[in-house]
Amino acid sequence: MPRQGHALRGRSRRRLVVLCLLLDGRRKSMQPMAERLGVDHQQLQQFMTSSAWPVEDVRTRLAWRAVAAVRPQAWVVDDTGFPTDGVFSPGVARQYSGTLGKVGNCQIGVSIHAASGTASCPLSWRLFLPTAWDGPEAEARRRACRIPETEHHRPKWQLALDMLDDLAATGLRPAVLVADADFRHGLDERGHAWVLQVKGEMTAHGQDAVPQQPDYGGLGPRPLPRYRTRPAALREHVLAAGRSSGRAVTWRKGSKAAMNAHFVLLRIRLAGRRPKPAPDGTIPLVWLIAQWPEGEAEPVKYWISNLPADIPAKDLVRLAKARWRIEHDYRELKTALGPDHFEGRSFTGWHRHVTLVTAAHLFLPEQRRAPEVPARA
């Protein structure tokens, strides 16, 4: 451990921060960590907010180590809220947070996690900037938080696509991407397999629907084939099939008992504003997964997926339910490692903090997979 005021340099600083994140202590912000480490608080604060170490390089190395440790069956996109007092922290605003279950003053972090049935770990983070952080009225706050001019409000799904692109540039791609938002067009453009939780109001054609060729009037290009039937909501498709068409599926072992529920699985052709038919007008078939508990008048959750037609129902449901691992990650991170304890007002500092928190979190799955070393006699 360094002496009080000892100059910390380069990689040693990152190691010390990760070490302190793993140590006991309620607060994982700069001043309490500096006191526990016996180093200068201002040095540590400057290291996180205004020094020049490249967070992107660290994030890339951590992502490769996480994939090796977790051996993921899927990557999962999610977001979490960090309740914050005041209005000066980057990205803070009154906004809805699933963590809070309501609108509150908070920051929102969007993350991608590598997940298997037994382990998971974040691969990348992005801080969500609400629209209130754009425009002339936000210039002073943006300067104070050192937000780069290239960073502006983008939907959370776009932040997810940006992270996927960055990870792909390093050679990492998911076997399948799981999320609770419909951004399938961006995923299709990148060639990703996906399982997405959606609302029952989304519309689709049935499996047997076929496009028809409109009559050609003889002028201009021939019209493309199109579906003449009205698409129905996903909820209507499942209600028409009936609960009896489904089956009970057990997808994993829980802490007390096997996780089991009733699901209706259908093949559909998604409609909506931007369907992408083949040249013959055919919209590809995808899976519709609907969870329909006993005693309920209709399903309570819906997912869609472009995974192959012959995938076993258990595997399809297990992937649809994979987000529980990320909820576990967020709980473990916030309980022990303090991703929400960053008190600086630097946009880059926030990303450095959650990256080093990820490094500390990665220690856990790596240790769980490490072979036990026999103790010396």
Task: For residue 282, give the H/E element and its range.
Answer: none
pLDDT of residue 182: 86
pLDDT of residue 46: 58
pLDDT tens, position by position, for the chain (377 residues)? 444 444 444 455 555 455 444 445 555 555 666 666 666 656 566 555 656 677 888 899 899 999 999 999 999 999 999 888 888 889 999 999 887 889 999 999 999 999 998 889 999 999 999 999 998 999 999 999 999 999 999 999 999 999 999 999 999 999 999 999 889 999 999 999 999 999 999 999 999 998 887 777 777 777 777 888 899 999 999 999 999 999 999 998 887 888 899 999 999 999 977 677 777 888 999 999 999 999 999 999 999 999 999 999 999 999 999 998 888 888 887 876 766 666 678 898 889 888 888 888 888 777 766 655 454 54
Residue 282 burial (CB < 10 Å; 0-12/13-18/19+)? middle
Distance CA 280, CA 10 (A): 59
**Strand pairing class (74-83; 177-179):** parallel
Distance CA 159, CA 153 (A): 10
pLDDT of residue 3: 42
> In the structure encoding, which two tokens stand for residue 14, read together?
């990152």
Reported residue count of the chain is 377
> In the structure encoding, which two tokens stand for residue 180, read together?
């609770």
pLDDT of residue 307: 97
> In the structure encoding, which two tokens stand for residue 110, read together?
């969007």
> In the structure encoding, which two tokens stand for residue 76, read together?
């999962």
pLDDT of residue 285: 95
For 218, residues 6+ apart whose C-beta sits below 8 A from its C-beta are none
Cα 29 to its chain centre, rounded Å, is 24
pLDDT of residue 2: 41
E strand spans, 70-156:
74-83, 93-97, 102-115, 120-127
For 75, residues 6+ apart whose C-beta sits below 8 A from its C-beta are 112, 113, 114, 115, 123, 174, 175, 176, 177, 178
> In the structure encoding, which two tokens stand for residue 79, read together?
């977001």
